[in-house]
Structure 1
Amino acid sequence: MQDKKKQILEAAIRCFARKGFHAASIQEIADELGMAKGSIYFYFKSKDDLLISVFEYYVEMLFDRMEGLPEEKGLPPRERLMVQLERQFAFFRDHLDFMRMLMKEPVTGLHPEIRELMLRFRSRIKVWNISHIIAIYGDRAEDFSGDASILLSGIVGQYFEAILLEEVKLDDRRLSRFIVKRLDDLMHGIQLADEAPIMPKPNLNKLRELAGLPVETMDGKKALLQELRHSLTASDTSSADEKEDLLSILRQLEDEVDKPAPKRLFVRGMLALLKQNAPSAWHTNLERLEEQLKRS
């Protein structure tokens, strides 16, 4: 993004946070920057257009922080959620003006495009939550992933409010780990209760479509095998010979799973070899893979 356009967006958010969208004027934003009012109209057609751009700018920045980094691919799923939550809280504290603007007035009713952006935002949060929940707790958690996503969002949202409204100073790393431990407690309680879920089982592909994300066509077994291969490639905990042996097993498994009628005994043998030799960080994904292979 051009520096000047970025400066205008950041000045606009400060003005909207102080006065609200309706009360703030383009002239005040120009004064904030010490530039001519006409310069803003060179980049944005109207105040509505500026507000829409503010939303797009901050939402994309937030999701950049929430997405996994290449060096995190080898981390266990629970650890990945912790570090991504930690970055999310750091983003929140670094951009309190944007959050204050959201609290100042119901901006979602100002423009149809804003409502559409918020729908995409909510869907993307759900995809993010549910993907992490299934990665950590396996396919058995899928039926309850809609309820778990709401509970996770509720916990995170309440801490956001405490930071914003009560100005509580929190340690992002400790908080993110505390939240994931409480998510463990919730999922354990849900599974022990043996109750029917409140929310219907989410359709991840439909949610991805609503979020403006590409729909995943790869089936679960292939996706898990691919994730294991990526994590092995990124890992520096195995020797070159161990890596080559594990990669060979993974390739053979992928080839067999791809066949119309995979040989069950061969698949079971390859899976047993993986479980015997794989790093401990693979434990959850191997359990999920075993469940999926049993059902196929």
Structure 2
Amino acid sequence: MKNKELQLMKYGMKLFAQKGYHNTSIQEIATAASMSKGSFYLYFQSKEDFITRTIHYHYEEITHRIQATSSRDDLNPKESMAAQIAILVDYVYTYKDFIMMHVRENIPAGQHTDQLMWQMKVENFHWLKDNLQAIYRDTLGEYFIDATIQCDGLLNGYFKWMVMDDINIDPHVAGSYLIKRIDNLVNGMLAQEDPPLISWEALPDAYKMEESGEVKEKLMIRIDELKQMVDQVELSQDRKAQLNEAADIILNELLKDTPRMIMVQGMLAHFRPIAELGPLTEEIANLLDVELLQ
């Protein structure tokens, strides 16, 4: 992402937090970033596009931080999840005013924002599920989905109090404390032996994020074709290198058990503006059942 694009996002978020979405104009964002209104439109199509891509960028940033923590070898699964929760608590406090703006104002979402929010919800579900699986392994059995949903409610309940009621919580204390509460939830379910409320089979297909081997194989072939086409189109070597890196990121995500589809969608957006790559990019998006970002 270009420095000027990040500059606009930085000042736009500040203005939205201070004045609100509807009371902030594109001209004000551009002026705060020491740019012209025309420069704004070089990077964003509209104010709706601006806020969608800003949310997407910061979601990727927090995802990278959490992923770096989850891959640490010096933490056991409970310590890892506690550290990841601490990151989320710190993030909520850092952008509390911006989050509150979303709560208070009726911001026009648009199709791309709606899909982004849905994908974030699905990926958050899998983040919780993967952490619980690492901690409890086969212990949860049929209570896996109920445990994931209850953890989601527990965390979101605290996040809402932090944002809406200005409650102050130490992020590092919160992580270990909430892991203990999750333990209480899980052990309580296992001790009571009540039938689970929701089974894996009852989940909407979007949450299962399962691709057949045939579809995955086809995706790998198409992405390899995309990389070959990048080498053939008339672009600078730097641009070709960026596109090849984006293709590699997509491949790496698709090889994971639970790919971050929002990351894949963001990487695919780099190929769309290039006419020669458009049709193949659309085909890949269709195979993944995601919409291409503008």
TM over 0.5: yes
Q: Could you say which residue in structure 2 is the equivalent of 1:8? A: 8
Q: Could you say which residue in structure 1 is the equivalent of 2:129? A: 130
* CA shift for structure 1 position 177: 0.5
* CA shift for structure 1 position 53: 0.9
Range moving further from structure 2, 139-148 or 128-137: 139-148
Aligned residue for 1:72, secondary structure, equals coil
Structure 2 gaps, min length 5: 211-249, 259-294
Which one-letter code corresponds to 1:151 in the other structure?
Q
Q: Distance in 1 between matches of 2:121 and 2:70?
A: 25
* CA shift for structure 1 position 164: 1.5
Q: Distance in 2 between matches of 1:41 and 1:114?
A: 19
Q: Distance in 2 between matches of 1:164 and 1:217?
A: 33
- Using a 3 Å threshold, how does the CA distance of structure 1 residues 215 and 204 change in structure 2: closer, same or farther? farther
Q: Could you say which residue in structure 2 is the equivalent of 1:83? A: 83
* CA shift for structure 1 position 100: 2.0
Report if the CA contact (8 A) 1:85-1:176 is conserved.
yes
Report if the CA contact (8 A) 1:208-1:214 is conserved.
no
Q: Distance in 1 between matches of 2:12 and 2:146?
A: 37
Report if the CA contact (8 A) 2:122-2:206 is conserved.
no
Larger Rg: 1
Q: Distance in 2 between matches of 1:163 and 1:207?
A: 28
Report if the CA contact (8 A) 2:70-2:81 is conserved.
no
- 1:164-215, Cα deviation, whole Å (9 max, x unpaired): 22222211111111100010011000001111111222679953638x9536
Aligned residue for 1:61, secondary structure, equals helix
- Structure 2 residue 211 is the aligned partner of structure 1 residue 171: no
Q: Could you say which residue in structure 1 is the equivalent of 2:233? A: none
Q: Distance in 2 between matches of 1:170 and 1:93?
A: 9
Scaled by the length of structure 2, the TM-score of the pair is 0.66
Q: Distance in 2 between matches of 1:72 and 1:118?
A: 28
Matched ranges for 1:29-68 at <5 A: 29-68=29-68
- Using a 3 Å threshold, how does the CA distance of structure 1 residues 71 and 126 change in structure 2: closer, same or farther? closer
* CA shift for structure 1 position 112: 0.5
- Using a 3 Å threshold, how does the CA distance of structure 1 residues 121 and 144 change in structure 2: closer, same or farther? same
Which one-letter code corresponds to 2:42 in the other structure?
F
Q: Distance in 2 between matches of 1:92 and 1:156?
A: 11
Q: Could you say which residue in structure 1 is the equivalent of 2:194? A: 195
- 1:140-178, Cα deviation, whole Å (9 max, x unpaired): 314212211221121211221222222222111111111
Report if the CA contact (8 A) 2:20-2:101 is conserved.
yes
Q: Which has the higher contact order (CA 8 A, sep 6+)?
A: 1
Work out the number of aligned pairs and report it. 216
- Using a 3 Å threshold, how does the CA distance of structure 1 residues 195 and 171 change in structure 2: closer, same or farther? same
Q: Could you say which residue in structure 2 is the equivalent of 1:214? A: 254
Structure 1 gaps, min length 5: 219-296
Q: Distance in 1 between matches of 2:173 and 2:205?
A: 33
Q: Could you say which residue in structure 2 is the equivalent of 1:17? A: 17
Q: Distance in 1 between matches of 2:167 and 2:21?
A: 26
Alpha-carbon RMSD: 2.6
- Using a 3 Å threshold, how does the CA distance of structure 1 residues 217 and 57 change in structure 2: closer, same or farther? closer
Q: Distance in 2 between matches of 1:142 and 1:131?
A: 14
Identity of aligned residues (%): 25
Report if the CA contact (8 A) 2:15-2:24 is conserved.
yes
Q: Could you say which residue in structure 2 is the equivalent of 1:102? A: 102
* CA shift for structure 1 position 74: 4.1
* CA shift for structure 1 position 216: 4.7
Range moving further from structure 2, 63-72 or 77-86: 63-72
* CA shift for structure 1 position 104: 2.5
